[in-house]
Every structure is written in structure tokens, then in C-alpha cells.
Structure 1
Amino acid sequence: MCCSGFLKIMMFIFNGAIFLAGAAILGIGIWVKVDSDSLLGILESVENAPSGLAELAYVSYLLIGVGAVLLIIGFLGCCGAMRESRCMLLAFFSIVLIIFLIEVAGAVLLFVFDDVAKPLLESLENEVRKDIQQNYGDNEGVTSLWNTTMEQFKCCGYRNYTDFEGSPFLNDHDVFPTTCCNATFSGNVCNEQNAHISMIDGCFDKLVQLIEDNAVVVAAVALGIAALEIAAMVVSMILYNNIGNKA
């Protein structure tokens, strides 16, 4: 009886942690999806983009899916332990095992980011530059998307201000976007000289930095959740067997 009570408490602790982790991941996924109208939205809007780019653009759906499933299994584990339901505990174990394998695969992909995602983004450079030079200042959707992205991430173009050379915006106004110049030039026009002196980082570098900075954190969180899931699976099987023996 004492052992069974201890196992239930452990299930509540492990699954409570999994539930909270799921809520956090779900929140991050929703934030990434909302934010995709800026930086990732640009990648989706480029014509002739590499097919593998969708894997980056749809990362928000993966986070939302994983977060939602973690919420479900956290609730399922707690409920199964409280009701001493062998069926619920077995379902919990099966789902957690599948999620665990997916998380391990995802962590491996994050660690090899430089070998997969970065070359993919680099291969996109010509298409993005072409899109800017043809549409920025002429196409309202493309112009608004770039303006939002550059303002939010404090970046300029894909690589730098030269990406806007030949664009309708530069041809019509003879200036570069204001985000391509430092704040010290805020009172002046952002001409070629000021943009060259400022040399604001391109949005490509900002995106790579953003992903690399968060890749280690996400991978560490995933491995921490995986450890909790292993412990929860072990406890659930012990509790499953104990309930079966009492029956």
C-alpha cells in the first residue's frame, strides 16, 4: 500500500512536470506561428525556394503539436495513476514512448543544424535578392513584410543594404530603408553613403543567430523532458504491474 502510494506521488510529480513543459512548448509554438508573418514569412513568400525550406517555415506547427501532446499525456498519466486504470497507464506508456523517440530525433536534427539548415538558407540568397529587387517598393505585401521584419530584428535586407540596389523603392526614392542606417543618421536620409557606413547586419545572419542561440536551449529542454518521460514510463509500468497483481 505504501509502495503504491509512493508510485502515485511520483507519477503526479513526473507528469506535472511534463504537463508544464508541454504548456511552455505550446506557448512557444504559438509565438513562433504569430511571428512567422515577419522573418519566416519572408522565406515562405519567395518564389522558386528550395523544397526543404518548408521544414523551417513549419517549425511552429511541430512545436504546437508536441506541446499539445505533452499536455495530454501529462493529464493522462496523472488520471491513470489516480484511478488505477491499467488501460490508461498502458496508453500513457505507449504515447510517451512514441513522443520520446520523436524528441530524440528532433534533438539530433537541432545539433546538426549547421549541416542542414544553414546551407539551405545560403542557397536561397539569389532568389531572395531577386525578389527584393523586383518587388520591394512595388508589391505592398512584400514591402510590408520586409519592413516588419527589418524593424523587429534590426536588420537590413538578406545580407546587407546592397540587396536593395535596383529595387523599385530605391529607384523611386533614391534612398534605402531607414532600418539600413544607424540611429545616428535618423535625422538624415538613408543614402548609400550612410548605409555603407552603418553596414547593418542582414536578416539572414539574424535568422541564423536566432536559430543557433535557441537550438541548444530547445535541445537541452527536450533532453530534460525525455529524462522525465523515461522516469514516468518506468514508474507507470511498475504501477501497471502492481495493479495487475492486486487484481
Structure 2
Amino acid sequence: MAQGCLKCLKYTMCVANFLCFIGGVSVLSFGIYMTTKFKPVAITTTVPILTFANMLLISGIVITCVSFLGFLGALKENRCLLLTFFLLLFFLMLMQLTAACLLLVYDSKITTEVEKTLKDHLEEAKKPNGNTTEAMMAWDNIQKNFDCCGVRNASDWGDQVPKSCCPDQCVGPQPHYWEKGCLDTLKSWFEDNFLTIGISVIILCIIEVLGMCFSMTLFCHISRSGLGYKL
């Protein structure tokens, strides 16, 4: 009975990690596509390397490597791989909890940094050749999708208000612009989806805890059976 449960646990880990591996490869591929097709736009000016494409690349690499270790460790019943898988999941969970705490503690500073980043990108988009830059394309996408204009309001654009600021593509002698700025709109969107984001983080932590429990159970069984380094 115990052997049957352990075999079930082993193959459950294999299937789950294989699915995670496929997901990681997909995220990594999309990150590579974003890097090659679009010029990276920094999420924050404090850390210029922190772009959406780079975040996808890092996430894809981490998911792929961790899930591969879990899959191979369970399939081969290798104690070293299972222990490495356990430790990586543990550190990932600590990083996620730390990031969540920092978001709560430094909420005002993060808002200030986001506002500064938006203003810097807006100034870049307002340059003479700004209509063809990635910064302008990013602003058009934000303003169209979130029904907002500028950082605080349309006055941030001065005399160069883009058509994406208007519900009707700025038709007429006195075009009507979106009243709300994108900073307030993004804050409202985050607050409206806070519960969904929180539940997603909790589910992710539960999956990681289950992965750690499964890997440690197999680790202990392999240690008792004397197959710690079987390949």
C-alpha cells in the first residue's frame, strides 16, 4: 500500500512538473519574442534593466529550471535533485512573501517611483520624433486600454495631445479628452484586482508548499531505502 502511494506521488510530481516545464518554455519563448520584436521599455528608471521582456525571460528561465529539476528528481528518484528542488521552491516562496510585504510597506514610495517613470517615458514620447518611438506606442496602448490621458491629465501632453487620449479619436474643433490620468487609473485597476492578485499569490504559495512536501516525502523514502544517488 505504501509503495503504491509513493509511486502515485512520484508520477504526480512528474506530471505536474512536466506541465510547469511546458508553461515555463512558453513564457521564455514569449519573452524572447518580445525582446527581438520590440525595443525594451524600462518599468522603472531606477533599474533600467527591469523591463517587461526581461521579467518574462527571468520568470521563464526560473520556472523551466525548477520544474526540470523536480521532474528529473522524481523520475530518477535522485535525492540530490529532490533536495535542490525543495530548496529552490523554499527560496522562491520567501522571495514572493518578501516582495508582497515590501509592496504593502513601501506603497507610497512605489507610487512615487511609478509616477516618475511614467513622466520620463512621456517626455521621451513628446520629443520631435516621438510619434514613431516605442515610448509613444506604449503610451498609446496604455491610454486606449485604460481610457486615460497623460500621467495626471491631458495637460501633461501640452499641445501634443495624441489621438489615443480621445474617446472619439479627437474628431472636431474641440476634442474631448479622457478626464482621468493614467497614474490614478492604474492605481484604481490595481486596487480593483487586489483580491484576485492576492488569491493568485496564495494559490502559488500553496502549490509550492505541496511541491516541497511531495519532494521531501520522496527524499525521506529514498534515504531509508538506500537509493540516495540512483541515476
TM-score under structure 1 length normalisation: 0.68
The 5-angstrom pairing of residues 125-204 of structure 1 reads 125-135=118-128, 137=130, 139-166=132-159, 170=160, 176-182=161-167, 185-186=168-169, 188-189=171-172, 191=174, 194-195=176-177, 198-202=178-182
How big is each residue's C-alpha offset from its partner over 1:23-75, in whole Å with a ceiling of 9 and x where there is no partner? 4455456556756899994436x9xx223x54464322231122202330232
1:72 maps onto 2:68 in alignment: yes
C-alpha displacement of 1:93: 1.7
- Aligned CA-pair RMSD: 3.9
C-alpha displacement of 1:13: 1.7
Q: 1:97 aligns with which of 68, 82, 87?
A: 87
Structure 1 partner of 2:189: 209
Kept in 1, the 8 Å contact 2:143–2:149? The answer is yes
Structure 2 partner of 1:61: 57
Structure 1 partner of 2:111: 118
Q: 2:99 aligns with which of 98, 102, 109?
A: 109
- Give the match's secondary structure for 1:194: coil
Structure 2 partner of 1:85: none
Question: For residue 127 of structure 1, what is the amino acid of its counterpart?
Answer: D
Cα 1:187/1:151, change in 2 over 3 Å: closer
Higher relative CO (Cα under 8 Å, sequence separation at least 6) belongs to 1
Kept in 2, the 8 Å contact 1:160–1:201? The answer is yes
The 5-angstrom pairing of residues 44-55 of structure 1 reads 49-51=45-47, 54-55=49-50
Kept in 1, the 8 Å contact 2:163–2:170? The answer is no
The structure in which a higher percent of residues are helix is: 1
Q: 1:240 aligns with which of 205, 222, 228?
A: 222
Counterpart-to-counterpart distance in 2, 1:227 and 1:141: 40
